[in-house]
Structure 1
Amino acid sequence: MYGVKGEKFQRQYKKSLSGFKDWYQKQHAEDWILYPENLSEHLSLDEVALSQGELYTVITSKQAKGKKGSIVAIIKGTKSEETIDKLLKINRKLRLKVKEVTLDMAGSMKLVAKRCFSNAVQVVDRFHVQK
């Protein structure tokens, strides 16, 4: 933007333009974020190390093909009970519409898929098996 100093614009964006102050998930965003509106019939469930060895469980929609609207949930940690607790906050009717969940062979991920998306078929991702 012509004539606007970068640092000033960054401050203004952070403090007011982004809407972060009023974001309904701000309280728990460091531990978990849900976007139930991104839920689709085909999901991927995986654990990811984002920074400094911190592990997160990430659920993505395959329908979005990695673009905007692909993240369904990001949950700090990989413990199945904590992940299940957060995912059960998504409306049951939406969760029952899921037909397929792709995951690796981790037992905890299988438990999450079984409990949260009970109508879905579990597909083991061969990439993780061959690694």
Structure 2
Amino acid sequence: MTTYSYLCTNFLFIETRYRPIVKLTASINISSVFLQPTNSLLSRIYCDKVTFVLRIKYRWEAMDAENEAIEQSKKTGRPFQAEVLHNGDTIKQLLARSRYVLYKKPSGWTDSQKDRAELLFERFPDLRIAYGLSMGLSQLFENTTDKVFALANLAKWHEKVRQTGFKAFNTIARSIQNHYQTILNYFDNRSTNASVESFNAKIKAFRSQFRGVKNIEFFLYRLTQLYA
């Protein structure tokens, strides 16, 4: 099943100028009525995206550096030997294998992942900053239960972004600043899109019984009779 968070994450990878021309399938058109994005969800997704893109950037740089070193070794006749870290990873492997480390909280890391994270953040301080900002925003939404404290914590997070000078987070910081009232509504009952995704799954299961939908109006009528 294609989840809403999956769609949001991949939609964010599309350049802004091309987003208006993205077309949805009939099934997504039907379910999209029930799947309106929340600013809190998009905020956290975008933070994860920044960390992901930064890791990929460093990985490509490591691959380019290694390829250049290999070419140079061929010219000099000396065998190429990649730097191996104390955990057995090369720099390229470290960046590739750190993918799931950056998606987890530190409390969820295994011993090998803790070791890998320490090496990663030592070599790439910007990733430490990006990871810290991303986890900080996630913890804010998970642990804060009061709108007043939420507003104060959002302001503190916004200030951290400003102090770090991390330009990649400016977009989400501005989004929070412009839509903070809507975002704060999340803390009224701490609602997420989990129930929406559950309902979306029911819609898709119902649609699959008919092998597609030709009459959308009648399909929506049937849905209201079953689930309203």
- Between 1 and 2, higher relative CO (CA 8 Å, sep ≥ 6) is seen in 2
In terms of Rg, which structure is larger?
A: 2
**TM, length-normalised to structure 1:** 0.31
**TM, length-normalised to structure 2:** 0.20
Structure that is richer in strand per residue = 1
